[in-house]
Structure 1
Amino acid sequence: MNMTIPGAVVKDVRASLPRHKTLKYGRRKLTDIRSAALHHSATLSGSPEAFARYHVGTNGWPGIAYHFVVQKDGTIYWCNDPEVISYHVGNSNRHALGICLVGDFRKQKPTPSQIEAANRLIQHLQVQIPTMKQVLGHYEYPGYAWKNCPAFLMGTFRTNYSQFLQKTLGKVDKPKQVPVAISLNDSLLSVTGFLQEGISMLPVRAVANAAGGKVEWIAATQDVRVNGKDLNEKIVEGSAYAPAREMAAALCLQAEWDGKTQTVKLRGCVT
């Protein structure tokens, strides 16, 4: 996985952290990852090495619990492969990736550098792992409502992260776009999509509105749904785009590609 993050310092410490002599964490596919789990270390200071020693030596775990640790100065430490199923959110471990911000946020606040680094890290990971749509606090996972971790309001964090995405995603991750036309039952729409790596991406709201579909924006999870179906969308300059075939399936349409005219043709019954 590429971990070069514009505007952030990332240090790869995966090979140097303490590990259990015999125990090993299980592994998963990247597509198994559904959420990023935010933690605080509950210590005024600390390091990946110190956390790993505690998790291995005291807890008897195979290795450090977190995939990433974010220091107060904004430095991001890469501690586990994303495919590693580490121990940090109980029965949800298989589908969650752990990010720990150093600090005890019952007594102090995350630094602006930490929040910015966490935002950049999550943004990067969501591009690398499209299935990781949710950003949740430790206490939001099943069985952990009692746990004051990460000890700050996740609703506020997600709102600020959403604003961060609106400002940066189009600039940082703007894809190379080849415009494509869109027709619905042989009538050209007034909007266009684009080709990205051979996949036709269509503007979600415009196409859904034209076809009579229902669009939902789930701010808490940064998720777009059409007629209740999740999409592997990309946010480009504040607008959501999704693969043509996913859009067609959600709208009960058929999608065809006309290479001569660079047009995505959507056909079927429009409600």
Structure 2
Amino acid sequence: MNMTIPGARVTDVRASLPRHKTLRYGRRKLSDIRSAAIHHSATVSGSPEAFARYHVGTNGWPGIAYHFVIQKDGVIYWCNDPEAISYHVGNSNRHALGICLVGDFRTQKPTTAQLEAANRLIQHLQVQIPSMKQVLGHQEYPGYAWKNCPAFPMGKFRLDYSQYLQKPVDKADKPQQAPVAISLNGSLLSVTGFLKDGVSMLPVRAVANAAGGKVEWIEQTKDVRVNGKDLTEMVVSGSAYAPARELAAVLALHVEWDGSTNTVGMRRGV
């Protein structure tokens, strides 16, 4: 795999990290990889070597859990072949690729260099591995809702990642585009959304309340959740907006787009 990433520093440490004397990780095809799993190390500092020693010596694993580790200075360490089925998200290991940012983001924040490196790495990997369409936090995988990892808002990360290297959006003002009408079970709502890069963005609280969903604001991470699920939201004039299909999915609604009237139709059932 080509790991030359413009604007990023990548160090290949696959051959030098501690490995178990006899155990080896299983292998998969690149096309088996469906998501990138974002972790924090939950340590104030650390290195791939230190993590590998712990994973091998204490946990008894074949090698380091992560495929990539990103230091605070933005250097990306390549730790495992993507084909390796390493141990980092339980039953989802076979289809997930692990990316760990060094730091304890319960008390710290990831550095700008780390986030930029993560964005560049993910964009590069999605070209190399087209099947890797999702970017999820550790706690978003089945069985890990209890775990505060990576301990920073994944909705904001995904939004920033999708906008990376593009002209920043002024989130203080609503984008000047044609409004998107919203229909729920055949009735028009009094609120509207807007189009952003061809995606219908809908007001989270208004739509969720109308559909009987539960909306939570997570003050610690400045993130919004609907029915316990994180969203790829953006904040405009103090209100959270999310992609129509994402919002419909967490509300168990079927969604259709009527381009002739700029209307998102959402309804129960198919």
Q: TM-score, normalised by structure 2?
A: 0.63
Query: Could you give the per-residue CA deviations for residues 185-230 of structure 1, whole angstroms, max 9, x where no partner exists?
Result: xxxxxxxxxxxxxxxxxxxxxxxxxxxxxx977985xx9x9xxxxx
State the alpha-carbon separation in 2 of the partners of residues 28 and 59 from structure 1. 22
State the alpha-carbon separation in 1 of the partners of residues 200 and 140 from structure 2. 20
Unmatched 5+ stretches in structure 2: 169-197, 202-230, 233-242, 246-270
State the alpha-carbon separation in 2 of the partners of residues 43 and 217 from structure 1. 39
State the alpha-carbon separation in 1 of the partners of residues 46 and 109 from structure 2. 15
State the alpha-carbon separation in 1 of the partners of residues 80 and 53 from structure 2. 14
State the alpha-carbon separation in 2 of the partners of residues 217 and 49 from structure 1. 44
Q: Is the 8 A contact 1:11 1:78 kept in 2?
A: yes
**Structure 1 pair 32/167, CA: closer, same or farther in 2 (3 Å)?**
farther
1:63 alignment partner in structure 2:
63
The SS at the match of 2:20 is coil
Q: Is the 8 A contact 1:123 1:165 kept in 2?
A: no
Question: How do 1:100-139 residues align onto structure 2 when only pairs under 5 Å count?
Answer: 100-139=100-139
1:37 alignment partner in structure 2:
37
**Structure 1 pair 167/97, CA: closer, same or farther in 2 (3 Å)?**
farther
Query: Could you give the per-residue CA deviations for residues 126-150 of structure 1, whole angstroms, max 9, x where no partner exists?
Result: 0000000000000000000000000
Q: Is the 8 A contact 1:39 1:149 kept in 2?
A: yes
Question: How do 1:131-210 residues align onto structure 2 when only pairs under 5 Å count?
Answer: 131-164=131-164, 166=166
Query: Could you give the per-residue CA deviations for residues 151-179 of structure 1, whole angstroms, max 9, x where no partner exists?
Result: 001001001111116459xxxxxxxxxxx
2:3 alignment partner in structure 1:
3
The SS at the match of 1:77 is strand
**Structure 1 pair 23/84, CA: closer, same or farther in 2 (3 Å)?**
same
Amino acid of the structure 2 residue aligned with 1:138: H
1:84 alignment partner in structure 2:
84
**Structure 1 pair 217/144, CA: closer, same or farther in 2 (3 Å)?**
farther
Identity %: 84
The SS at the match of 2:55 is helix
